[in-house]
Structure 1
Amino acid sequence: MSLNVRVITPDKVVWDSSADEIILPSSTGQLGILTDHAPLLTALDIGVMRLKAEGKWTSIVVMEGFAEVEDNKVTILCNAAEEGSSIDLATARAELEKVTLLVDEATTKKAKIEATIELRKSKARLQAVA
């Protein structure tokens, strides 16, 4: 038996398939989900979600949200998500360099917070490709 996994953003369904194992970037650390997992509702952080299906691992970048696990169904509602296979490595590296400069150049507290969030997103995108 496997898990039925759905990753949903406000504008699209990023993943709707089965998986044997999932590793979620929860707000308290990495969280592994296997079949017959106890019911769970958890907050997700910016990070890389990994799914194992048919012996192959797939990476999906998740930009905060929630995950619900119940009856071998995993529903992930998040602000944005992107499959690692759709991310260009060179573009992700360039984006990380650009955002790193924004963090260094930020002068106000608000600008620093916004730049730091963008930096975390860029790092997650790069991690999903690598």
Structure 2
Amino acid sequence: MSESKQRLEIVTPQRKVFSEDVDFLVAPGADGELGILPSHTPLITSLNVGIMRIEQDNKKFRIVVSGGFMEVRNSKVTVLATAAERTEEIDVARAEAAKKRAEDRLVSKTPDIDTLRAEMALRRAIMRIKAASGK
């Protein structure tokens, strides 16, 4: 690996989503977005639901992460995500349906609704739709 690259590995409990050398990435950290270049200072942070933006050989692409943790050390970035999807894997119709279900749950305000869970489902669906649309 050249000094202008860093290894990015994104894994979930189900699978390895990504494992390649990249030039730059922006991750949805707990306190805001984090830009990571090769030789970045070591760090460990939690991740929010959001879009990870990646640059690799003059190409840009996105991966939606649904929380988890990120470790940066020795030009290697390891993301342990609760869930992660490349934009080409996102089923937009399914994401739209999940968004509608979450919105309906939040509007219903019935006592048996887990509001926090519905809010997180809504955030995940919105990020998936946003990433798939390229916005």
TM-score scaled by length of structure 2: 0.89
1:75 aligns with 2:78: yes
Select between 89-98 and 51-60 the one with higher mean Cα deviation. Answer: 89-98
Specify the alignment match of 2:37 in structure 1. Answer: 34
The RMSD of aligned alpha carbons is 1.5
The CA distance in 2 between the partners of 1:42 and 1:20, in whole Å, is 20
The CA distance in 2 between the partners of 1:126 and 1:89, in whole Å, is 6
Q: Which runs of 5+ in 2 are unaligned?
A: none
Deviation per CA, 1:42-76, whole angstroms, max 9, x where unpaired?
11011111111111111111111110001110000
Specify the alignment match of 2:6 in structure 1. Answer: 3
Amino acid paired to 2:89 = S
**What's the secondary structure of 2:122's corresponding residue?**
helix
Specify the alignment match of 1:13 in structure 2. Answer: 16
The CA distance in 2 between the partners of 1:79 and 1:18, in whole Å, is 22
Q: In the alignment, is the contact (CA less than 8 A) between 2:7 and 2:22 conserved in 1?
A: yes
Residue 110 of structure 1, CA deviation:
5.6
TM-score scaled by length of structure 1: 0.92
Specify the alignment match of 2:119 in structure 1. Answer: 116
Q: In the alignment, is the contact (CA less than 8 A) between 1:59 and 1:85 conserved in 2?
A: no
Residue 127 of structure 1, CA deviation:
1.5
Q: How many residues align?
A: 130
Q: Which runs of 5+ in 1 are unaligned?
A: none
Specify the alignment match of 2:128 in structure 1. Answer: 125
The CA distance in 2 between the partners of 1:43 and 1:110, in whole Å, is 27
Task: Assess, with a 3 A threshold, how the Cα gap between structure 1 residues 109 and 28 changes in structure 2: closer, same or farther.
Answer: farther
| 2:92 counterpart (76, 79, 89) | 89
| 1:66 counterpart (51, 66, 69) | 69
1:107 aligns with 2:110: yes
